[in-house]
Amino acid sequence: MLAELLYTGLGCLIFGALAAPLLGTKFKKSWLVSIGVSLIGSLCVLGSALQIMGLRSPFILRLPLSTLGMIDQSLYLDRLSGFFLMVIAIGAVLVSLYSFGINLHYSEAGKNLSYFAFLYNIFLLAMYLVVLAGNVVLFLIMWEIMSLSSYLLVLYEHEEKHVRQAGFIYVVMTHLGTVFISISYFLLAKAAGGLNWENLSLVSKNLNTGLANIIFLLAVIGFGTKAGLIPLHIWLPRAHPAAPTNVSALMSGVMVKTALYGLLRFLFTFLPTGPWWWGGLLLILGALSALLGSMYAVLQKNLKGLLAYSTVENMGIICLGLGAALILRHFQFYDLAILAGVAFLYHLMNHAVFKTLLFMGAGSIISATHTKNMDLLGGLLKRMPYTGLFFLCGVASLVALPPLNGFVGEWLILKALFNLSIAIDSLTIKALGLLAISVLALVGALVATAGVKMYGSVFLALPRSYQAEKARETSLSMHIAMGLAAFICVVLGVLPGKISLLLGSLLELYWPSARVPAQDGFWQLCNVPKLGGEVYYPLFLGLLIVIIAILTWRLLPFIFGQTSVRRSETWTCGITPDATMEYTGTGFTEPVRVVFKNIFLPTREISQIYQVRPYFSRVIYFRDNIKPVIEEGLYKPLMKLFLAFSKYVRRMQTGSVQMYLAYILITLVILLATVR
């Protein structure tokens, strides 16, 4: 039954992929058919994912494919893959639902929608199979197809130069990452003597420490690239904004999670427990990504750029949780480790949902206004009330406001870090934990700033441009998708109990000596795993606040008497208010930029053309920029070095026959000398 459902789902996607080019010329129709089929397929996959989550032991499905007689391809279903399959399927269902509406404006622009639909389905299929793959070959194939199809999707609007550049950087970075992944897989497989997960999962006991360390490091580099961890992130803030919005929703919300899947597969099933610095490394990488990601997010003008950097930040936060879990596990605090594990898995799921929601919202905004520049938007809440409401829900999740889902994850991770620094008796780890805590707090505040900036400058006050003024609400399917996502955000926020227990039982399977603390009765539905006494019942907290707010609203007139409200324009020192007086998003974050100028390294150029010196200037040009430290400090020099070296080597091909003959002679002489 499970297999049938899964195959049906995957089959639907293949059909969807093929349907688009076959139906061909009738753009809209083929698009609708293709996306509809992929929606059905994703629902089937979601159903099977939920079943897989319930499996106690891995379930292996053999596929009728083989490679060079070494291995038969197989799918490996266990709770870990089931969990990720579920996350991906949720994202896919939402985005597919959403996509009914979004791409019609492309068809108006004369773009080839069947090309898009084909790649879209392939992309989904590849993501599913990445987490289901049961051996190295299938994993790498699907991993690369995933990159390749998303690369081509990023290039959908390829007329823009920056899009091509983004696509190129994306595909190269992810491919280089794949090299590291492959090497780590190969090293592991060599030790295991086989390429199947069954072989690899048996090797962990007799892996020597040095090899395990190398494999771990390679895996972190490889998967870290895909996950967008700083300093391997440079592709992410470029590629995600450049892609069509439903694709960026999938890439940001879901695709980066497959990297975590890969890493977890190593950490949970392949590698031994490992020294504590594994967790420490992840903590540091996570802290760095969270910090820099949120900082750059704050300063973004581009709506999708902001969301992309926020993805970097959230991946960082997830890594913080993972790092904490690993360290705690190393020191055999199994219960605390499981709490930390639940924390990052929970946050991972949350991020998938709210980031998908936010990107979908951004897509609606962009399709309504045709601009991504937040400084040109404003006042959309009145023009697009539903989008505005759902987007607010997403933003609130993003900035981790209780009682929404973002807070549950962040609270648990903070908790995990507290536990880490209190429980473990090592100065270094305590310091590391504290550092992570303060970084997380700073990140929380910065993200709040970014959230206010994003929501404020897009939805509130007066529209700053003609496009924003003329914006209209988008189509129904988009509302349904966003509404559904917002609903999931709320549900995950107020009823975390059952879900976190599920995650706990997932972890129990891989860390057998740990147990999820038992919960009692009804409370377990809405509490998060209880440890050390701190509890948090988001449902009741939410109800409390709502009740107080409603009581206040109803009681105030009752106590103080009815008052009236008069509408008038905003006071702007006596002038009629218009959009030029508003704070733009850029202006809004200026103080942050000044406060953290040592990190941003801002530069500004002001040039003036004067009418009469020195007082009356006619034109003032103002340009400011921040210096991307990692790109300038790491990637540019590396690139330069590589190109310089290449140029040097290229001189070898002089064009002279004599020279070439000399190469042959020299080679021969050297070889003859070595034969001796």
Residue 148: strand, helix, or coil: helix
- Which CB sits closer to other proteins, 36 or 602? 602
DSSP-assigned states of every residue in 204-254: GGG--HHHHHHHHHHHHHHHHHHHT-TTS-TTHHHHHHHS-HHHHHHIIII
Residue 194: strand, helix, or coil: coil
Binding residues for other proteins restricted to 442-471, rule: CB under 8 A? 442, 444-446, 448-449, 451-453, 455-457, 459-462
Task: For residue 382, state whether it binds other proteins (rule: CB under 8 A).
Answer: yes
Structure token pair of residue 513: 């000596």
Q: How far is the CB of 427 from other proteins (least distance, A)?
A: 6
The HSE-up count of residue 168 (CA atoms within 13 Å, CB side) is 7
Q: How far is the CB of 43 from other proteins (least distance, A)?
A: 26
Binding residues for other proteins restricted to 226-265, rule: CB under 8 A? none
Task: For residue 638, state whether it binds other proteins (rule: CB under 8 A).
Answer: no
Give φ, ψ of 129 to 5 degrees: -75, -25
The HSE-up count of residue 413 (CA atoms within 13 Å, CB side) is 35
Asked whether 226 and 174 are in contact (CB, 8 A), the reply is yes
- Which CB sits closer to other proteins, 56 or 650? 650
Of 34-42, 198-206, 326-334, 583-591, which segment contacts other proteins by CB under 8 A?
583-591
Asked whether 305 and 237 are in contact (CB, 8 A), the reply is yes
Q: Out of 25, 206, 208, 653, name the contact with other proteins by CB under 8 A.
A: 653
* Distance separating alpha carbons of residues 361 and 387, to the nearest angstrom: 6
Q: How far is the CB of 421 from other proteins (least distance, A)?
A: 7
Task: For residue 558, state whether it binds other proteins (rule: CB under 8 A).
Answer: no
Tokens 């499970």 belong to 2
Size of the site for other proteins (CB under 8 A): 147
Of 183-191, 220-228, 307-315, 487-495, which segment contacts other proteins by CB under 8 A?
183-191
Cis (ω within 30 of 0) for the bond into 628? no
- Which CB sits closer to other proteins, 15 or 100? 15
- Which CB sits closer to other proteins, 513 or 654? 654
Tokens 């601009």 belong to 371
Q: How far is the CB of 287 from other proteins (least distance, A)?
A: 12
* Distance separating alpha carbons of residues 292 and 300, to the nearest angstrom: 12
Task: For residue 581, state whether it binds other proteins (rule: CB under 8 A).
Answer: yes
Task: For residue 512, state whether it binds other proteins (rule: CB under 8 A).
Answer: no
Tokens 């938007």 belong to 377
Binding residues for other proteins restricted to 110-139, rule: CB under 8 A? 137
Of 103-111, 236-244, 304-312, 570-578, which segment contacts other proteins by CB under 8 A?
570-578
What x/- string results for residues 395 through 434 when contact with other proteins is judged by CB under 8 A? -x--xxxx----x---x--xx--x--xx----x--x---x
* Distance separating alpha carbons of residues 126 and 146, to the nearest angstrom: 5
Of 249-257, 320-328, 478-486, 638-646, which segment contacts other proteins by CB under 8 A?
638-646
Q: Which residues contact 52 (CB under 8 A, 6 or more apart)?
A: 2, 59, 77, 78, 79, 81, 82, 85
Q: Which helix (H) or strand (E) holds 617?
A: strand 616-625
Task: For residue 564, state whether it binds other proteins (rule: CB under 8 A).
Answer: yes
Nearest to 400 by CA among 351, 433, 359, 437: 351
Q: How far is the CB of 190 from other proteins (least distance, A)?
A: 5
- Which CB sits closer to other proteins, 176 or 509? 176
Task: For residue 343, state whether it binds other proteins (rule: CB under 8 A).
Answer: no
Q: Which one-letter DSSP state was computed for residue 268?
A: I
Single-letter amino acid code for the residue at 201: S
Asked whether 30 and 117 are in contact (CB, 8 A), the reply is yes
Binding residues for other proteins restricted to 187-206, rule: CB under 8 A? 187, 189-190, 195
Task: For residue 386, state whether it binds other proteins (rule: CB under 8 A).
Answer: no
Of 49-57, 86-94, 326-334, 578-586, which segment contacts other proteins by CB under 8 A?
578-586
Q: Out of 57, 109, 159, 623, name the contact with other proteins by CB under 8 A.
A: 159
Of 101-109, 153-161, 348-356, 361-369, which segment contacts other proteins by CB under 8 A?
153-161
Q: Out of 3, 22, 441, 476, name the contact with other proteins by CB under 8 A.
A: 441
Task: For residue 598, state whether it binds other proteins (rule: CB under 8 A).
Answer: no
Residue 464: strand, helix, or coil: coil
Task: For residue 510, state whether it binds other proteins (rule: CB under 8 A).
Answer: no
Q: Out of 98, 106, 334, 537, name the contact with other proteins by CB under 8 A.
A: 537
Task: For residue 375, state whether it binds other proteins (rule: CB under 8 A).
Answer: no
Of 82-90, 162-170, 244-252, 506-514, which segment contacts other proteins by CB under 8 A?
162-170
Q: How far is the CB of 233 from other proteins (least distance, A)?
A: 18
Nearest to 367 by CA among 239, 238, 244, 242: 244
Asked whether 234 and 631 are in contact (CB, 8 A), the reply is yes
With both helix axes pointing from N to C terminus, report the angle between 209-227 and 256-264 in degrees, rounded to the nearest 10: 170
Backbone angle region of 378, left / alpha / beta, with phi > 0 → left and psi within -120 to 50 → alpha: left
* Distance separating alpha carbons of residues 228 and 182, to the nearest angstrom: 18
Q: Out of 205, 472, 566, 623, name the contact with other proteins by CB under 8 A.
A: 566
Binding residues for other proteins restricted to 12-71, rule: CB under 8 A? 64-70
Binding residues for other proteins restricted to 317-336, rule: CB under 8 A? none
Q: Out of 3, 22, 476, 595, name the contact with other proteins by CB under 8 A.
A: 595
What x/- string results for residues 517 through 536 when contact with other proteins is judged by CB under 8 A? ---------------xxxxx
Q: Which residues contact 418 (CB under 8 A, 6 or more apart)?
A: 433, 437
Q: How far is the CB of 104 from other proteins (least distance, A)?
A: 22
Of 202-210, 328-336, 440-448, 628-636, which segment contacts other proteins by CB under 8 A?
440-448
Residue burial 56-95, b: 16+ Cβ < 10 Å; e: rest: eebbeeeeeeeeeeebebbbbbbbbbbbbbbbbbbbbbbb
- Which CB sits closer to other proteins, 510 or 523? 523
Q: Out of 544, 620, 638, 641, name the contact with other proteins by CB under 8 A.
A: 544
**Number of CB atoms found within 10 A of residue 149's CB:** 22
Nearest to 135 by CA among 182, 79, 204: 182
